Amino acid sequence: MDSKHFDVIIIGSGPGGYQAAAHAAREGLSVCIAEESEAGGTCLNRGCIPTKALCHDAELARMAAATTACTPDATAMQARFAEAMSRKAEVVAQLRSGVESLLAAPGITLVRGRAQLLADATVQTPEGCLTADNIIIATGSRSAMPPIAGLDLPGVVTSTGMLDTTTLPSRLCIVGAGVIGLELAGVFSSFGTKVTVVEFMRECLSAMDSDIAKRLRKQMERAGIAFELGTAVKRIDEGLRVTIEKKGREAVIEADMVLVATGRVPRLDAIDTEGLHIATHRRGICVDATTFEVVREEGAQTPASPRIFAIGDVNGCQMLAHAAEAQARRVVNTIMGRCDGMRLDVMPAAVFTTPEAACVGPTDEALKARGAAFRVYKATFRANGRALCIGQTEGLVKVITDEHDRLLACHAVGPHAASIVQELTAYIALGATLRQLLDTVHIHPTLSEVLLSLA
């Protein structure tokens, strides 16, 4: 390595890390990015991408089963599952290669191996100690493990292990009805696995609009997935016997595999937060909400340089790959002394189940709790021409405005819900009104035409 000082050092090459590296290099900054595992981080290798590849093949399996006179046997499903896992690996490898090519661009130095941000703001790597004017922490997150006895038993896995399995389980118990749990429930159910989802809260997707979450759950139940809501997992015993408790009564779920999908926690082990006087909270590193520069502990005497930023899952603001990418662009713009027009408070999210669910902006429950004035408009897919053509007429779109007709939020469940919410994201970010949305011509026949029937 010719130089041990850079304009920017980035720890972690997930979506936030590699986007920051590419953007900074385009701006003419010298960049070093350190990665201890595969390029692309959790999202590409063990999260968003492999899961969505499997969701696609699961949809094909559902369609094939619906058009045949007899149900495929276990051997046929295992073969189809093996093909899906193989294609998933190919997709991941192709995209990882693309990220590695991006990180080989002029101006970017990729360091393989574990990096440690030390108390003197130097970065210890296998290639020695490095320094920079700016340091970006992008170390991501890991699976959260609840205090349940038996999590160390063979067959109890996190999403990482689930995405690497080569055997299709006959019975799968999923602990947690968040995004990861529901997406994988849909995948394995489509390949013939009997799936039971156990959730401590009263409804799945607790952060999502309750109408949307309930409709999604009911459709998943109609597809054969069992839900145990308001239920605690007490322990997991030998033979993968999962003891649950609901309203004071215990029962046992027998499984061939148990997926623990109870959320994610930030990875801080590579950062000397105490020595650097970096403030943290339960969800991660405390950051300035606008610049994502780390917040120092009260009264801490720290030098002005280097500036230290934290982006993506490690700051716990919004655990979404596209949020990490947006924060990366904001940080590099801040380093360059440049303002941008990104509305990072308008952050869409989606769950790629069947059907899809998606949202942007606050729920009506949250607005009600704030005492805010708002109006709710709803539309269904039942009379939508495209929905009828593709045989998917179950769904709901909720759009929320303030008392002056300005768009605040959109919550949707149904075919292509993510695309519909993405359209509303643009309107909300630009401060548009419902009337401006309704005055926009939509292509016919499309699912987004459902927005024109909001009432």
Tokens 């987004």 locate to 448
Burial 348-381 (b: 16+ CB within 10 A, else e): bbbbbbbbbbbbbbbbbeebeeeeeebeebebeb
From the candidates 281, 322, 442, 444, give the one annotated as an active-site residue: 444
Q: Which candidate, 239, 159, 232, 227, places its Cα nearest to that of 195?
A: 227
Q: Which candidate, 377, 124, 386, places its Cα nearest to that of 271?
A: 124
444 belongs to the catalytic site = yes
Return phi, psi of residue 359, to 5°. Answer: -160, 155
Instruction: Evaluate whether 449 touches 440 at the Cβ level (below 8 Å).
Output: no
Task: Please name the residues in contact with 160: beta carbons below 8 A apart, sequence gap of 6 or more.
Answer: 46, 143
Task: Please name the residues in contact with 251: beta carbons below 8 A apart, sequence gap of 6 or more.
Answer: 243, 244, 245
Element (H, E) at 110: strand 108-112
Q: β-strand 226-229 against 194-199: which pairing, if any?
A: parallel
Instruction: Evaluate whether 370 touches 425 at the Cβ level (below 8 Å).
Output: no
Residues labelled catalytic: 444
